[in-house]
Structure 1
């Protein structure tokens, strides 16, 4: 039987439970990206006195963070093609959360700057991989609408961050640790902004790698296994790809040699 184009398979499977799971995970991660980027501006103002951040230091910190994002964008794009979308999303989200968490406890400016630059590096991996991963589970006809709805997570974050900041800035949080060091409002704000990222990591463990990625690295069996899982999630446990007339899948950019050897 001739291989079926994977786009035709997505048309057969529709937008079901698997797509909803991937969509919700990507929405949460998109919210986390915006939390880190938008939240930094609030955090810098709130921490200015404690970390002795003047206008020059603030400018350097923002410039370094965004320079890190620009510098590593192409690298993470390449890496997602090399090792897989899910591995890049999972590893970079964990590293972003860890470095952001540590930055909340830095006692002075320079250590804070280094860790926020590390946040800028790894958050780029989430940003450049997220929509690619989502797209590879959605039929061509639905992709523009789904991408549009994912971007609503940015709006949710733009409400979440200011509301949480407003609540925390009016709260008298001051937990003395030693000498002049204390846990204050802005440190707690960094930790609260991590919540969508932590939820996103938990959700990433529940969803599969992109079948299109598997096809691109000639792992036909793994791609079929993911599609079978999607089929059962969307159509019911008794429905299989074979029952829909799908024995093998391909995608347009695979050569005839690759199709035959998969």
Structure 2
């Protein structure tokens, strides 16, 4: 065949086991980013008595990892565009797993918060780049489907967390390693939550760097080797020479001669907010911000809120067990400590929550095959807004559970799909930094959402819920304004 780019080469090679292996690697990487960040709800409940945490401390425990991911996101994306997606994912996993283990051994909430922040600084790389790494092994016709399939990792992670908690927490497992040092069950829970990360670290070490990146930095032979690996895994290694795949090196005109790393970092960031990329990038960013704001910001608190629910026949915001979220009450302007509550009894709702993610990922995957991605985004986000609005009226336990879960999960399944839209709307040499910067700024939404629920839900539950509804409505409109063919 004549000289071709990587897209044509991947079409020539075809779909097979090579892409499935990359999908599996990205799947477990995605699972780990979710178990590490969303499993904190169980820890917050279990440490309530041991550390005597108040409302502010619980909120800090819930949000510091997300804040770390915001802080490091763009820088890791910049490094990914310089040194490779695979390299940065491996470094991110190693750092996150190491400090996650250290976090599980911390003696007080202050040290816990510091190490969780460091975990977030590392975790941002693997969480943001997993989708980019995946789709750069896929030809354009397969990318949307692949990004949706790997997203099932989120649902399985959210089922994995309550199943592990249900197996461990009711037994009050403790391990005394010294006279005054006792390890409680939540520490072992954190260690188990990191298992997908160790699997991801081993598996990604066994696959090559993406051919797109290798070609973009002029490493033509290495790019061919990566494509040859895909062909071999697809059972076409023996006919590789017959394919006659030739690649043309790309010129990376964004790397300016003589420019320092800091200036280049700023220069590349500014480029994303200038034509011709600005409108596309900002549109995708607003959508991702809204998804993280509602689905992650509220989702972190989901196990805690549902564990506090007493199945009363009242609106969610009229249920004192939920609006207080088990935290301190205020009398005459002063907080007074209540008897702490560190028992986790409701595991079924979090399992239902994870199952809803799997179901709605399936729905979104089917819809992607039938209609353009921007309409899939608009339909899901709009449905989430409607379900959230219904929380103003519904009062039966089942309807509250369905609407509250739907508010979080229906838009939440779109993170990878929205990321794939961002990738397709930008050139190869800007994808890594755009993904990481976009995810980083979007995760600012999760930090704001987490703090909003933790600090404001008790003050005004109705206002808090409707803030999420209004922003999701705005995101629905933005989805419909995305370019044609998206």
TM-score by length of 2: 0.50
Residue 244 of structure 2 aligns with which residue? 245
Task: Spell out, residue by residue over 1:12-41, the C-alpha distance to the aligned partner (whole angstroms, 9 max, x if none).
Answer: 112212111110010011111110111011
Residue 217 of structure 1 aligns with which residue? 217
Structure 1 residue 252: Cα displacement: 7.4
Residue 97 of structure 2 aligns with which residue? 97
Q: What SS does the aligned partner of 2:59 have?
A: helix
Distance 2:15 2:99 in 1: 36
| RMSD (Å) for aligned C-alpha atoms | 1.7
Distance 1:78 1:204 in 2: 20
Residue 32 of structure 1 aligns with which residue? 32
Structure 1 residue 96: Cα displacement: 0.7
Give the conservation status (yes or no) of the 8 Å contact 2:172–2:185: yes
Distance 2:140 2:244 in 1: 21
Correspondences of 1:11-50 after superposition (within 5 Å): 11-50=11-50
Give the conservation status (yes or no) of the 8 Å contact 1:232–1:239: no
Residue 136 of structure 1 aligns with which residue? 136
Q: What SS does the aligned partner of 1:53 have?
A: coil
- Higher-Rg structure is 2
Structure 1 residue 253: Cα displacement: 6.9
Distance 1:136 1:250 in 2: 17
Q: What SS does the aligned partner of 2:160 have?
A: helix
Larger CA deviation: 52-61 vs 144-153: 52-61
Residue 68 of structure 1 aligns with which residue? 68
Residue 119 of structure 2 aligns with which residue? 119
Equivalent pairs, count? 253
Correspondences of 1:65-214 after superposition (within 5 Å): 65-214=65-214
Structure 1 residue 2: Cα displacement: 4.7
Residue 416 of structure 2 aligns with which residue? none
Task: Give 5+ residue unaligned stretches, structure 1.
Answer: 256-262
Q: What SS does the aligned partner of 2:107 have?
A: coil
Task: Spell out, residue by residue over 1:114-148, the C-alpha distance to the aligned partner (whole angstroms, 9 max, x if none).
Answer: 11111111111111111111110001001111111
Residue 260 of structure 1 aligns with which residue? none
Distance 2:192 2:63 in 1: 24
Give the conservation status (yes or no) of the 8 Å contact 2:81–2:213: yes
Distance 1:204 1:88 in 2: 11
Distance 2:200 2:244 in 1: 35
Distance 1:118 1:38 in 2: 16
Give the conservation status (yes or no) of the 8 Å contact 1:33–1:123: yes
Distance 1:224 1:64 in 2: 42
Distance 2:52 2:116 in 1: 16
Give the conservation status (yes or no) of the 8 Å contact 1:174–1:183: yes
Distance 2:93 2:81 in 1: 17
Distance 1:63 1:159 in 2: 21
Task: Spell out, residue by residue over 1:37-76, the C-alpha distance to the aligned partner (whole angstroms, 9 max, x if none).
Answer: 1101111211222233221111223333222211211111
Q: 1:140 to 1:253 in 2, by over 3 A?
A: farther
Distance 2:203 2:63 in 1: 32
Q: What SS does the aligned partner of 2:39 have?
A: helix
Structure 1 residue 179: Cα displacement: 3.6
Greater relative contact order (Cα < 8 A, sep 6+) = 1
Larger CA deviation: 171-180 vs 14-23: 171-180
Give the conservation status (yes or no) of the 8 Å contact 1:3–1:249: yes
Q: What SS does the aligned partner of 1:170 have?
A: helix
TM-score by length of 1: 0.91
Give the conservation status (yes or no) of the 8 Å contact 1:52–1:109: no
Task: Give 5+ residue unaligned stretches, structure 2.
Answer: 254-486
Residue 56 of structure 1 aligns with which residue? 56
Q: What SS does the aligned partner of 1:65 have?
A: helix
| Ranges of 4+ aligned residues in structure 1 off by more than 3 Å | 250-255
Structure 1 residue 250: Cα displacement: 3.4
Distance 2:236 2:143 in 1: 23
Q: 1:182 to 1:136 in 2, by over 3 A?
A: same
Distance 1:35 1:18 in 2: 26
Q: 1:251 to 1:159 in 2, by over 3 A?
A: farther
Q: State yes or no: 1:10 paired with 2:18.
A: no
